[in-house]
Structure formats: C-alpha cells, structure tokens
Amino acid sequence: MNSILQQEFADFEIIVGNDYPEQKISAQFLGIEDRRLKYVNHPKNLGPIHNANALLSLAEGRYFTWLADDDGYLPNFLKTIHASLSEFDFPPCIFTSYLQGETYPGTSEEPNGKVERYKGNEFLRQYLLKNIKTIGCYGVFEMEYLRSLGGMQHIGNGHFSPYADNLLVIKACQLDSIIYINTPLVFFRTHEGSVSYSSTNITVYSSAQSELLSKSIEIFKDKRLEDDFQNNWSLLLKWCIDDYFCVMIRSGKLQLKRLFSYLSAITANTRQLQKYRYRILSAILINSILMIKCLTIDCLRSFRFNVLIKKYIKKIIKQSN
C-alpha cells in the first residue's frame, strides 16, 4: 500500500479487500490515513479470484488493476502508465514488465523509449515465447473492457488458481493492439510463503492447465489469431509442460502413475483438436519435450524408467496415428 501511496502520479483510489474475516482492518488499524483508501472487510473468505472480482465491481475509475499484498509498484509506475495511455489515445489495456526478488528496491527505471504498440497476434506470440515478460493481473485495463472479459477467472480445482493471469493476457490478445512498457515497474516478491513460488500441488496445476488449454482453443480460433493457431498451441503446451516439471522437481517426488496420467491427458487434449480444421500437433513433438524434461531430473535417469518412458511414447504415437 505504501508503494502505491508514494507514487509520483496521485490521481487514484485504493480499495483494500480484506479476505481474513477473523481480523477486520481499518485506517486506524493499519496506521495509514489517506482519503483515497477504502476498506472492504469480507464476512467470509472469498478466495483470491472472487476477492479480486469483488474489488472490480466496486471500482469507480476509468482504469483498473490489481496488486497482491506482498508485491509493490515502483514509484513512477502510475505516472508512466498515464503518460503511455495518453500517448496512445487511451487503449483498452496496457502491460508492463516486472522484476522479482525478496526485497523491494524502492527505485524506478525510466522507460527510455521502450513503450511499444503491438498487434494482438504479435503480442501473443512474443508472450508465449516468453520474450515479453508481464503479469496479466497487473496489467492496467479500461474498467468496462475488463468487466466484459469477466474479470479474473478461476481455473483448476484448487483454492488458488494458477494461470488465471495467463488467461487474462491471452484474452487481451484478441484486441487489435496492445501497449507494452518494456520496463520493470512492478515488483513481484518471491518468498517461501507465496503460493506461486512454493506450491507443490501438482494436481491443482494439472487441472488448471487442462482448463487453460481448453479455453485457449476458442481464443486461438479468433479470426485475428487463427493464422497462428498451430504455433500458439505448441508454445502454450510447451509452457504448461515446463511448469508441470518445475512443480514436480520442486516437490522432490516422482509418481510414475501420476506422470503417465498427465501424459495421457496432454495427448487427449491435443487429439480433441481433430474436430477443428487445424493441423494436429505431432505427438512426437509433445513427447520429445517430455523426454528432454525427464532427462533433466537426476532421480529419473535409471535404465528402467527410460525404458518405461520409451514404451509409453511408442504407445501414444501408435494411438495418435
């Protein structure tokens, strides 16, 4: 909150959504007195996504964004956002780069001319390639446009919703153009208590990935994106597989049954594209990616495991053919 109140641009409101019913908060409780602050003490725990959308429903400004309680803005975040919105005739959304670490830096970088307008399809490709670094929910959206998207969408079967911010970026790429500030103006704090940094719940990640892939099919079919359907699908699938193995490594556990179930789900998700007119992603490509990931995990380098994987790949390729 202090990182917002210390902004060089001062025309804003802050709505604080307290999702901890056991302790009400107020200006007196926090020791922060400012007329731009509003407090909402939820009578029950809503969860991060419903809390986020509750705040969106209460906002009154023209533009809107979220900020989690362990992250922050660099001092010229809002000033740079406002200048870029004015320069590009107030577009529906604008994204910035970010930095991450344990300690808030408290200083700003000047944009240095790194404010660019992308076509939606170009932005999507660079985002999926990870050449564009941004956090979807920390983008700044025209409020009515964000509401038309449904705000943040919960995906997966867990309390937290990995990929909700990714889905928000992917939806925005249906726009004709997107503004991107390639300067880290948001601070994403990484620490042991942050869910996205520490969670080892592989089930939540795999269920969220399944929903993300299914919902992205419809978005990738948009007339402005359909020419890149194959590439976008391949890149998103690789992103999901990368994340799955990162979480598996983080957990320090390997269950062959769960891994094979994931392989089956990925293959089934790819095969469902047969009902569309798009060319199917090769099962060989999928499993080549998986094999590379498997070989990076020391505990998986036994001869027996490699034999099991090779036999399973042959089975998948046979089914796909």
Q: How confident is the prediction along the chain (321 residues), in pLDDT tens digits per residue?
A: 999 999 999 999 999 999 999 999 999 998 998 999 999 999 999 999 999 999 999 999 999 999 999 999 999 999 999 999 999 999 999 999 999 999 988 777 676 658 999 999 999 999 999 999 999 999 999 999 999 999 999 999 988 899 999 999 999 999 999 999 999 999 999 988 888 878 888 889 999 999 999 899 899 999 999 999 888 988 898 898 888 888 887 887 777 777 777 877 777 776 666 655 545 555 545 555 565 556 555 445 444 555 555 565 555 555 544
Does the pTM surpass 0.85? The reply is: yes
**Both structure tokens of 20:** 């901890």
Domain locations along the chain: 2-196, 200-320
Which residues, at least 6 apart from 88, have a Cβ–Cβ distance to it below 8 Å?
Answer: 94, 117, 179
- Fold of the 2-196 domain: Spore Coat Polysaccharide Biosynthesis Protein SpsA; Chain A (3.90.550)
Tell whether the torsion through CA atoms of 121, 126, 132 and 138 is positive or negative: positive
CB-CB contact of 212 with 165 (8 Å): no
Helix (H) or strand (E) holding 293: helix 283-294
- Count CA atoms closer than 13 A to 169's CA, side-chain side: 25
Distance CA 297, CA 31 (A): 49
Pairing of strands 140-142, 93-101: antiparallel
DSSP 100: E
Q: Write the single-letter amino acid at 297.
A: I
The residue assigned the tokens 């490594």 is 249
Q: Say whether 93 sits in a helix, a strand or coil.
A: strand
